[in-house]
Chains A and B, each alone.
Chain A
Amino acid sequence: MLSFNLALKLFMRDFKSGELRVLMFALWVAVAGLITVTLLVDRVERGMTKEASQVLGANRVMYSPQAIDAEIAEEAQLQGLQTSESLWFSSVILANDQFQLTTVKAVDHKFPLAGELKIAQALFEAGEVIQGKPQSGNVWLSPRLFNLLNIKLGDSVQIGAQTFIASGVIAKEPGGSSFFNFAPSVMMSVDDVAATQVIQPGSRLDYRLALTGSESSLESFDSWIKTQLNKSQRYLRAESGAPQLGNALSRAKKYLNLSGVLALLLGGIAIAIAANRYSLRHFDHCALLRCMGLKKDQVLFVFVWILLLVGTVGTSLGALTGWAVNEGLMLALKELLPEQVPPVRIETFVLGMAAGFIVLIGFALPSLIRIRSVQPMRILRKDLEPFSLAMWASILMAIFALSVVISLYSPSITIVAIMIVGGGFVAAISLVASLFLLKLISRLSQNRSMAFRFGVEHLKRHRAATLIQVSAFGLTLTLLLIILLVRNELIQDWKQQLPQDAPNHFLVNIQPEKVDALNQLFTANNLVSQGIFPMVRGRVVELNGEKVTELYKDKELHNSLRRELNLTWMEAFPEANELLEGQWLSENPQKIEISIEEEMAKRLELVLGSTMTFRIGADELTAEVTSIRKVKWDSFQPNFYVIFNKSALENMPATFISSFYLAPEQKMFLNDLVKLFPTVSVIELDLILAEVRRVIEKASLAVEVVLIFVMLSGIAVLLATTRSSLDDKLYESALLKTLGANRKFVAKTTFSEYWLLGLLSGVLAAISSEFIAFLLYEFVFKMEAQLHWWIWVTAPIIALLAVVPAGTLGSRSALKEPPSQVLNNR
């Protein structure tokens, strides 16, 4: 209690007098940054999951080609989950002698469990939200079917052996459009399926069990269901859908988490430097307390209490600020999130504050621990320095603390490893390069002014302090540059991926004889298609002459072997692809060549020269792999695993696929298109694309806000570092002035020192940021690494612009304070 009371008193006084200001500021900013980021990521992610559930129509869906055992639904209900069963299948619908292939969705009374089903009583009306199934004998139809079948509401349609009344228009349905679900929907009651008699042995059926419930019930059901699934069944979590959105978000999440942790790391550096100064300035006070009878541990406890008080106030302020900034961001991101933003979770605050404490203790304790070994004799003999923890032990402690924090936020061992390897690299080159550069500058400064030489000599004399300052500035700048660098490329990459005129509509099932007519229609309407590609359905049957069924007897089949693939032929290399190995397809009609996608090549262990045999209709075709491509799957363009040379596939039965950009005001074009080409299916991706673009825009905003916190943390380091050398600078300036130096000389000396420190740290930052950025690009963001020449110019300039003013302003008191006062206080 004694220690606490004394600590509280000292804490209050030190806080008032500014002794703890930098320490507190560093912690405050770091925790605020971290909590802003984690709240943001957590809330957006949960919002997105909720949104994804609405798209999928449930939190989880189990898919099965056979009827799903009743006990699975019973188990789900036992675990507190809501269930809804449906059966999806393809069937032809008939009316007025017209027929159309549709996706029939036979649903139960609980459909949909999430998201909205809107049924309208007229075409193009918004409709009413409905949960349940059509009455027996009724069906609801996609708006397109009314045009295609030339019917109106209340007319009869036939599915299999049963006639139904078209009693509603599906205005909105969960599970919206997906690439493989382009046939228009028909919804019927699950009780009517038997009467249609369309379910025959061998029919391709898609039984679905939709599930919703609390996260904990879902998770426990997830682990149970995994043991129950057979090979043909699939189980999907809502958040694993929408890969385009997922990719952008997952990168943003990685980036934001990394920024948060970097803000904390910068905070850690500032804390270490500020704590070191704080404990140095308190050695005499500790000696006094020891003289007055406080035991070693009691003195240590006083300062540990102070540290905990700093931690409590700093992390609380950080949490509060983080919350406030997050609320602001939520307002700005309102459109991006679902109507109801998920509330903040208390765990996020606890975790953020805990991380703050861990960093505070890990970075400050090595300095404070010295206080325990201050001898009371120091009161009479100032030269008695307390025992100092070995540098390596302090660094190890800091690295340990940091690793704990990083692992709390980012389970990726790669990031932890990169930070440590990168940090170690920065530290090592800082030491070696600073020493070398210092020597070099010292040699070059022989003929410079006295003040400049004095500045250089000062840095050389305080070599340890110089190295610490250069490393701290250098590392801070490195981290800032990395955040800036990755941010730019991340946003640019997103934007490149989704230019304003990215194709937002796909046409599939185009018959070969309609290709020319379709091209003419495009031209007449001033539309530019991304090309019309032939699509030939084929299944892989052999790899390098060995049957797939034999090769994969005991192994799980790659997705590309499980189903028929869409094969194509092309003459020119596809735009959104990148040639990784080999030569693009030749025009030699004698050869059958293919270019395959890189991931497929890896999974199927195919290399250049390997062969693949496809069954296309009744024919078998063996082709040689002559190139391997990287495909941007999220480019919103038709992409293919396998591309043949023209002569090989030209004469095979094909339909065509095309994609094009349609501005919102041109939407009516689709009506003409559907009327002129009734067999062509249109997939509208414009809404999904708009959604992705909005996510990217908002995510960029979040990235910028986080950058501010990282910069504030950088300022904390700058303040801590300049203050750390202030006492020595005051003393030396006082001595110089006593010996007759004027203020101008002292100012010049100070300027020279910080100029050199800035230059050194700028050069070091350029080297190390290139290195760390290279590691991050390669291993975390999976982006292409490249050299950034601008860093080599801007890093030293930024360093000079930050360090020189901060240093000279921070040392103002060295010019102002009367020498007598400084020397007396020494």
Chain B
Amino acid sequence: MLTVSQVCKQVPLISGPLTILDDINFNVEKGQSLAIIGASGAGKSTLLSILAGLDLPSTGQVIIAGQTITELDEDERAVFRAGHVGFVFQSFHLLPTLTALENVALPLELKYHHSALDTAKSLLDKVGLGERTAHYPNQMSGGEQQRVAIARAFAAQPEILFADEPTGNLDSKTGEKIADLLFELNRENHTTLIVVTHDIKLASRCDRIIELAAGKVLQEQKVATGTA
């Protein structure tokens, strides 16, 4: 599903180029989940942005669902994201002027889905917010907002989902519930899941873990059984 080969990212500085990612290679099978962990500044977020097509590597290739996204221009990558990719962010990134229902329906509407609102409603039911459809983000707690964000991420039924510190802004109890929801929906939808996190507990629920340090893959480990 996802093939990363020889990905490097350098940024030019006055003192010379700074290497952020150095020769990253790995594959992720369809339906598999992968956690990317590492200390701050290890290059996790840069790697995530390249994998999701938000940014381009200096060298190397990223192939998702048979499409080499690193060869696409910005607008082509946008079209690709619309068809294949979903996101969950640490700070939720809900549109404050749209209701929970409208936020979830947004990616569907962008794809001209004929029953966007119905699908969004059933997804909100699924994440336990069926009664809160008309509420705005500022009327909801952090955990509730992240549940809306997860519902939104799965709404367009993406083949691959990128989650950037999905529990980073939540307390541990709420974080755990959110993680449960994320993995549950992931399993149901057979989505490939890539999670960037500091949280070892969350990472250990994935099928595989890659640890980055100073832009390189320090180690890769397989987790025996993913916990639901």
Contact = CB atoms under 8 A, between A and B. Distances in A.
Of B95, B111, B112, which is in contact with the most chain A CB atoms at under 10 Å from its CB? B95
A293 B95 contact: no
Nearest to B111: A293
Contacts of A293: 78-83, 85, 107, 110-111
Contacts of A289: 110
A25 B112 CA distance: 34
Interface stretch (A7-15, A209-217, A267-275, A622-630): A7-15
A288 B79 contact: no
Interface in B78-131: 78-83, 85, 87, 89, 93, 95-98, 102, 106-107, 109-112
Contacts of A294: 78, 82, 110
A254 interface: no
A381 interface: yes
Contacts, number: 75
Contacts of A2: 109-110, 112
Contacts of B54: 291, 375-377, 379-380
B97 A292 contact: no
A586 B95 CA distance: 86
B22 interface: no
A295 interface: yes
A13 B97 contact: yes
B45 interface: yes
Nearest to B83: A293
A686 interface: no
A588 interface: no
B75 interface: yes
Contacts of B95: 10, 285, 288
A738 interface: no
B81 A291 contact: yes
A290 interface: yes
A445 to B, nearest CB: 37
A376 B98 CA distance: 20
A380 B97 contact: no
B98 A13 contact: yes
A294 B109 CA distance: 11
A820 interface: no
Nearest to A13: B97
Residues of B in contact with A, size category:
20 to 34
Contacts of B96: 17
Residues of A in contact with B, size category:
20 to 34
B108 to A, nearest CB: 10
Interface in A255-300: 284-285, 288-297
B181 interface: no
B55 interface: yes
A296 B74 contact: yes
Contacts of B74: 296
Interface string B34-75: 000000000001001100101100000000000000000011
B159 interface: no
B83 to A, nearest CB: 7
B93 A284 contact: yes
B76 to A, nearest CB: 9
A19 interface: yes
Contacts of B78: 290, 293-296, 376
Contacts of B109: 2, 5-6
Interface in A369-402: 375-377, 379-381
A289 B81 CA distance: 11
Of B54, B74, B75, which is in contact with the most chain A CB atoms at under 10 Å from its CB? B54
B144 interface: no
Given A2-B109, A291-B81, A14 B97 contact: yes
A261 B119 CA distance: 51
A6 B109 CA distance: 8
A118 B104 CA distance: 80
Of A13, A293, A295, which is in contact with the most chain B CB atoms at under 10 Å from its CB? A293
B164 interface: yes
A329 B97 CA distance: 40
B93 A377 contact: no
Contact of A377 (B55, B79, B85, B98): B55
Nearest to A290: B78
Given A5-B109, A295-B75, A17 B49 contact: no
A295 B93 contact: no
B48 A380 contact: yes
Interface in A10-53: 10, 13-14, 16-17, 19
Of B87, B89, B97, B107, which is in contact with the most chain A CB atoms at under 10 Å from its CB? B97
Nearest to B103: A288
B64 to A, nearest CB: 13
Given A9-B102, A290-B78, A291-B87, A379 B110 contact: no
Contacts of A292: 81-82, 87, 106-107, 110, 156
A285 B95 CA distance: 6
A371 to B, nearest CB: 14
A394 B97 CA distance: 28
B97 A10 contact: yes
Nearest to A291: B87
Interface in A418-444: none
Contacts of A381: 45, 49
Interface in B138-165: 156, 164
B88 to A, nearest CB: 11
A379 to B, nearest CB: 6
A294 B85 CA distance: 12
A292 B85 CA distance: 8
A291 B107 CA distance: 10
Nearest to A16: B97
B93 A296 contact: no
B200 to A, nearest CB: 21
A17 B93 CA distance: 18
A510 B81 CA distance: 98
Nearest to B79: A293
A289 to B, nearest CB: 8
A297 B52 CA distance: 20
Contacts of B110: 2, 6, 289, 292-294
Interface string A91-120: 000000000000000000000000000000
A292 B109 CA distance: 11
Given A295-B78, A296-B74, A19 B97 contact: yes
Nearest to A19: B97
Of A10, A16, A17, A288, which is in contact with the most chain B CB atoms at under 10 Å from its CB? A288
Contacts of B93: 284, 288, 379
Contacts of A376: 54, 78, 81
Interface in B156-176: 156, 164
Of A10, A14, A380, which is in contact with the most chain B CB atoms at under 10 Å from its CB? A380
B168 to A, nearest CB: 12
A289 B106 CA distance: 9
B138 to A, nearest CB: 9
B159 to A, nearest CB: 13
Contacts of A296: 74-75, 78
A302 to B, nearest CB: 10
A9 B81 CA distance: 23
Contacts of A284: 93
Nearest to B98: A13
Given A2-B110, A16-B97, A295-B75, 9 more contacts: A5-B109, A6-B106, A9-B98, A14-B97, A288-B95, A292-B87, A293-B111, A294-B78, A376-B81
Interface of B: 45, 48-49, 52, 54-55, 74-75, 78-83, 85, 87, 89, 93, 95-98, 102, 106-107, 109-112, 156, 164
Which 10 A-B residue pairs are closest in the complex by CB-CB distance? A293-B82, A13-B97, A295-B75, A293-B81, A376-B54, A377-B54, A295-B78, A288-B93, A292-B107, A293-B78
